[in-house]
Amino acid sequence: MITFLVSIALLIIAYFTYGKFIERMFGVKEARPTPAYSMKDGVDYIPMGTNRNSLIQLLNIAGVGPIFGPIMGALYGPVAFIWIVVGCIFAGAVHDYLTGMISIRNKGAHLPQLAGKFLGKFMKHFVNVVAVLLLLLVGTVFVTAPAGLLYNLFNGWVALGVITAVIFIYYIFATMLPVDKIIGKVYPILGALLLVSAIGVGGMLLVTGAEIPELTLANMHPAGTAVFPILFITIACGAVSGFHATQSPIISRTLENEQNGRKVFYGMMIVEGIIAMIWAAAAMSLFYGTDLNELIATGGAGLVVSEVAFTLLGAIGGTLAVLGVIVLPITSGDTAFRSARMIIADYVNVSQMKIASRLWIALPLFVVSFILTQMDFTLLWRYFGVTNAALSAIALFVGAMYLAIQNKFHWVATIPATFMTMVSLTFIFSAPIGFGWAMPTAYLAASIGTILVLGLFAYKVKLNRAIENFELDEEVNKAA
């Protein structure tokens, strides 16, 4: 219990300390018009209040990742707590803040555009492909996961295919309509449900005096299972997630003032880290040991969610908690498709003012996603995990470059970017879905690859610094 409480305290303290440090180093300009005003279009660029933006950002980034990931990561034991805290404070929250704020400074640009500007044209095309692939995987995963939870909640009396179809229909409307019509109005309510469910589970852990394991290196996986890199792939959204870099521009286009960025971007990542801590602790305390292995093997992380919710909160409270969990993937899936539409539209330079222009981009995405729902969920999750980790490294390198060009302390982003590069490459070289090499060989190859990437980054920093009057922040028009 002490490890759990200290971890929560560290996350909260970090928002007021390290988060403030990152904000000051970035350099907020309160008088600078944000894209919500300078590019207002009534569809994607619409000013919205800070509290509403905060809840929308939280729901955008917090899919099943901060719940399913920590539950599966709990099999590694309390060492998962370390990764959630350290990753969230020094990697995830920095990642979210920098990508969100740099997007604001560049007219609400998405990650592919930012990668092209700061890392080179090749990276623009590469990140476009990776980002759209990730968003398709996210959208698909976040259809199948809530559909399965709802199917279980309804005891099977509503067909799984019907539930899946209803979620897809909702996604189509949320993707196509202006951001303030569904997302802006419904998300604050759903966000409250999410927070209440997380607080309910966390509160009951304290009230019941749950035996949450203290910090050890115990690993509940079979002997020989390596913690690195799988733990860092499994627990992503609760620590650091490239998916977030695709979501931040949605809010970058609705933020009213730059001074709200720390609360919306850094702060909501801290909240997500707390949610991840609660579910990891619940899984460890209630099912520590072989029980958790067996439960996940039987019904996946979704079964653990149901068992935790109903055990701690009873029938009514458990139902509300499960609904809160269901809200997460649905409200990330819809914005995943929305982000994919916006990224493709920006790439091909097609205005999104007309609904027909949104339709011909969005519909093919849903067709591909429907086809992907026929794949095995576990396999989808693995592809999602490694793509997610790789994109987080790229996004952090974008933030590092932005700081490096100004001769600021870019290591706050470069160090986590380098670490996530090592994680991604090691997984690719060692995993069966990758090269399948033995771990020693994979470690060596990943180390060489990471050094090469870091060298290329240093070379690009030198080139960008040599460009006279490098346009870090694009000029904006005054608000109408």
Instruction: Please check whether residue 95 lies inside any domain of the structure.
Output: yes
At residue 468, the pLDDT reads 84
Mean pLDDT score of the chain, rounded to an integer?
85
At residue 387, the pLDDT reads 87
| Residues 11-51: tens digit of each pLDDT | 999 999 999 999 999 999 999 999 999 999 888 899 999 98
Report the share of the chain in percent with pLDDT over 90. Answer: 40
End-to-end CA gap in the chain? 54
Burial 79-95 (b: 16+ CB within 10 A, else e): ebbebbbbbbbbbbbbb
Q: Which of 450, 97, 138 is nearest to 245 (CA)?
A: 97
At residue 480, the pLDDT reads 37
Q: How confident is the model at residue 376 (pLDDT cuts 50, 70, 90)?
A: low
The DSSP-derived string for 45-114 is -----HHHHHHHHHHHH-SSHHHHHHHHHGGGTTHHHHHHHHHIIIIIHHHHHHHHHHHHHTTT--HHHH
Instruction: Please check whether residue 155 lies inside any domain of the structure.
Output: yes
At residue 477, the pLDDT reads 58
Range of the domain at 257: 2-16+43-373
Given a cut of 60, is residue 297 above it in pLDDT? Answer: yes
Instruction: Please check whether residue 398 lies inside any domain of the structure.
Output: no
Distance (Å, whole) CA 170 – CA 202: 30
Instruction: Please check whether residue 267 lies inside any domain of the structure.
Output: yes
Distance (Å, whole) CA 74 – CA 26: 35
Given a cut of 90, is residue 118 above it in pLDDT? Answer: yes
Distance (Å, whole) CA 222 – CA 398: 38
Mean pLDDT of 126-132: 88
For tokens 């969610």, name the residue: 305
Q: Tell me how far CA of residue 464 lies from CA of 26, 417, 450, in angstroms.
A: 18, 19, 21
- Give the residue ranges of DSSP H helices in 235-354: 243-252, 261, 268-287, 290-348
Number of Cβ within a 10 Å radius of residue 116: 20
Instruction: Please check whether residue 386 lies inside any domain of the structure.
Output: no
At residue 219, the pLDDT reads 60
CATH of the domain at 217: 1.20.1740.10
At residue 478, the pLDDT reads 45
Instruction: Please check whether residue 36 lies inside any domain of the structure.
Output: no
Mean pLDDT of 156-176: 84
Instruction: Please check whether residue 335 lies inside any domain of the structure.
Output: yes
The answer to whether residues 42 and 36 touch, using CB atoms and an 8 Å cutoff, is no
The number of distinct structural domains making up the chain is: 1
Q: What is the pTM of this model?
A: 0.87
Instruction: Please check whether residue 271 lies inside any domain of the structure.
Output: yes
